[in-house]
A and B are shown apart, each in its own frame.
Chain A
Amino acid sequence: MLDTDNFTTPDGRTIGGTVLDLRNITLRFGGVEAIKDISFDIREGEIRAIIGPNGAGKSSMLNVISGFYVPQEGEVWFRGEKRPPMKPYAVAQQGVARTFQNIALFEGMSVLDNVMCGRLGHMKTGLFAQALWWGKAQAEEVENRAAVERIIDFLEIQAIRKTPVGRLPYGLKKRVELARALAAEPSLLLLDEPMAGMNVEEKEDMSRFILDVNDEFGTTIALIEHDMGVVMDLSDRVVVMDYGRKIGDGTPDEVRGNQAVIDAYLGVAHD
């Protein structure tokens, strides 16, 4: 069932139909249930946050969406179709891009090369044409380079285009990773703690980029974040997890008022 009712956010963006629908997902590692019977959806054009205390199963959830983990139970529906168990690279080819909590970049390559790797799925011409820069391959390379340069400009990393990623400081690496994910022009972008380990200023920059990306390219974004303040400012809807269960789901204001969420975050007195 594909929900196609559009609605408009307070700041005037249009949120479309369901892009991803998770139905009764359960994920186990041996005897440990990391995710217990969770369902929620992500709609086109929205910023959807997944929050929760440490060990709540947020990253596991993201890994289920990106295909790195295969859940034992439940269904993943992507763009109106039930997704069979798939290798992560196949999920990526379908248009789900992601970043990692601990940053996974190609450290030996330049920033430009890293971002170009994000566009591998957009390169279609043959091997020999590419090697010899011949015919359509040339036009395609120019086109891909232009797209990459746009993203590099957008994320303000022009100055480090040729720098090997291994030499960059942490905050910039995070931004390059975002650039690589964006280069794929994903229909769903997953950000695993995009602001972890950043100082206040870097966090503000990153928040701005996430909002701008969503606004400018209309990218659907699902993100995990610890910083409650940031999450509430950024997101349209929030899923709250605790011990592998979903304990809240709704707009930031609804979630803020939810007693179960307050208990999970502040702790609750057991009598």
Chain B
Amino acid sequence: MPDTLLFSMEVALNGLMAGVMYALVALGFVLIFKASGIFNYAQGVMALFAAMTLVGIQNGQVPFAHLINAIFGTKIHHFGWQVPALLAILLTVLVMAVFAWAVNRFVFSKLVNQEPIILFMATIGLAFFLEGVADLMWGSEIKTLDVGLPQGINTWIDETTLNAFGYGFFIDNLDIVATIIAALLVVGLVLFSQYTKQGRALRAVADDHQAALSVGISLNFIWVLVWSIAGFVALVAGIMWGAKSGVQFSLSLIALKALPVLMLGGFTSIPGAIVGGLIIGVGEKLFEFLIGQPYLGGATENWFAYVLALLFLVFRPQGLFGEKIIERV
């Protein structure tokens, strides 16, 4: 088999795995947008905040230690214990749920019936606020996140492909785990939204607020629920990205990569977020390998996704799976 084809296959596989990561972030956007029409710019920062909280809890860090020390002249930093990964994850989920409640109680319940652009601006404010709170709470240094996920080259795939094609594929174990977890998450979300009372209520709220009220659904409850789920998805994305490249500010920028994914998949479609993420992941890696590096001097990964999104905006603004925009005249 020619080398280019083999290399392309490896690149495409790695692209798929990267795409899963994009899809995870995009999923958080879609959930909130569907249920409340809010484009949540803070989704990336939520992933950062969730990852920092997880690391902080795991290492027994004292929250707001710098602030406490500055005010009281103390020198506390750590409680001196380590929290097991699973318990730390559960506690972080709880923190994200409290955050979801607070966001709705103090921000969005005051902005009911406002223009989408105002809600969007509020989420930008929220992003900066949360970033500050995250730094203040857990410190701004780069942290390593380790919840015991396997990392490094998958030797089985390496050997099998080596025997089959005479060339071993490099696939990271972490990417495989991320893919499996993302798949489980999506199955879980689908089961939740299709078969549970709360899921049905969520779809109802996403469709028509007034009608939802008239069948006895509390909008506030659903919004808190949705933000909690988005917080949970952010946590999963934060764990994956954090394990891959450390917990640091740039984690919040992955949210920007989710934008082209949403353009492709449509803002309101969960399968769209997944497929969009995969297309962007594979597309940018393959483009870089086949066209970028040989002809364009490389570094095309930075802009490929946005150009693709631009093309979609021109020719298919509702995305691949978005609801068709019909204008009745």
Interface, chain A (partner B; CB < 8 A) = 66, 68, 87-90, 92-93, 97-100, 104-109, 113, 116-118, 120-121, 123, 127, 130-133, 141, 180-181, 184
Count residues of B near A (Cβ-Cβ below 8 Å): 26
Q: Which residue of B lies closest to A141 (CB)?
A: B195
Q: Are B216 and A184 in contact (CB under 8 A)?
A: yes
Q: Which residue of A lies closest to B192 (CB)?
A: A131
Q: Are B216 and A106 in contact (CB under 8 A)?
A: no
Across the interface, B195 reaches (CB within 8 A) one of A89, A120, A131, namely A131
- A108 neighbours in B (Cβ, 8 Å): 203, 206-207, 323
Interface: B186 (CB within 8 A): no
Question: Once bound together, how far apart are the Cα atoms of A97 and B213, in whole Å?
Answer: 10
Interface: B191 (CB within 8 A): yes
Leading 5 A-B pairs by shortest Cβ distance: A92-B216, A104-B211, A106-B207, A130-B196, A123-B197
Given A88-B214, A108-B203, output 4 extra A-B contacts at Cβ < 8 Å: A99-B214, A104-B211, A106-B208, A184-B215
A89/B217 contact (C-beta < 8 A), A107-B208, A117-B204 known:
yes
Q: Are B215 and A92 in contact (CB under 8 A)?
A: yes
Interface: B218 (CB within 8 A): yes
- A113 neighbours in B (Cβ, 8 Å): 200, 203
- A93 neighbours in B (Cβ, 8 Å): 216
CB-CB contacts below 8 Å: B168-207 with A: 188, 191-192, 195-201, 203-204, 206-207
Question: Once bound together, how far apart are the Cα atoms of A99 and B208, in whole Å?
Answer: 13
Q: Are B214 and A120 in contact (CB under 8 A)?
A: no
Question: Once bound together, how far apart are the Cα atoms of A17 and B228, in whole Å?
Answer: 45
Q: Are B216 and A120 in contact (CB under 8 A)?
A: yes
* Chain A nearest CB, measured from B160 CB (Å): 35
- B200 neighbours in A (Cβ, 8 Å): 113, 116-117, 120
Q: Are A127 and B204 in contact (CB under 8 A)?
A: no
Q: Are B215 and A117 in contact (CB under 8 A)?
A: yes
* Chain B nearest CB, measured from A41 CB (Å): 23
A-B contact list, 17 entries, CB within 8 Å: A87-B213, A88-B214, A92-B213, A100-B211, A106-B211, A108-B323, A116-B200, A117-B204, A117-B212, A117-B215, A120-B201, A120-B204, A127-B197, A131-B195, A133-B195, A141-B195, A184-B216
- B204 neighbours in A (Cβ, 8 Å): 106, 109, 117, 120
Q: Are A97 and B218 in contact (CB under 8 A)?
A: no
Q: Are A97 and B215 in contact (CB under 8 A)?
A: yes
Q: Which residue of B lies closest to A122 (CB)?
A: B197
Question: Once bound together, how far apart are the Cα atoms of A173 and B315, in whole Å?
Answer: 33
- B216 neighbours in A (Cβ, 8 Å): 89-90, 92-93, 120-121, 184
Question: Once bound together, how far apart are the Cα atoms of A108 and B206, in whole Å?
Answer: 9
Interface: B219 (CB within 8 A): yes
- B250 neighbours in A (Cβ, 8 Å): none
Across the interface, A89 reaches (CB within 8 A) one of B188, B196, B218, namely B218
* Chain B nearest CB, measured from A198 CB (Å): 20
Q: Which residue of A lies closest to B34 (CB)?
A: A108
Q: Are B195 and A130 in contact (CB under 8 A)?
A: yes
Of B192, B197, B323, most A-chain CB atoms within 10 Å? B197
- A66 neighbours in B (Cβ, 8 Å): 214
Question: Once bound together, how far apart are the Cα atoms of A85 and B208, in whole Å?
Answer: 23
Q: Which residue of A lies closest to B214 (CB)?
A: A98
- B203 neighbours in A (Cβ, 8 Å): 106, 108-109, 113
Q: Are B218 and A120 in contact (CB under 8 A)?
A: no
Q: Are A180 and B215 in contact (CB under 8 A)?
A: yes
- A92 neighbours in B (Cβ, 8 Å): 213-216
- B323 neighbours in A (Cβ, 8 Å): 108
Q: Are A104 and B214 in contact (CB under 8 A)?
A: yes
Question: Once bound together, how far apart are the Cα atoms of A196 and B316, in whole Å?
Answer: 38
- A181 neighbours in B (Cβ, 8 Å): 214
- B206 neighbours in A (Cβ, 8 Å): 108
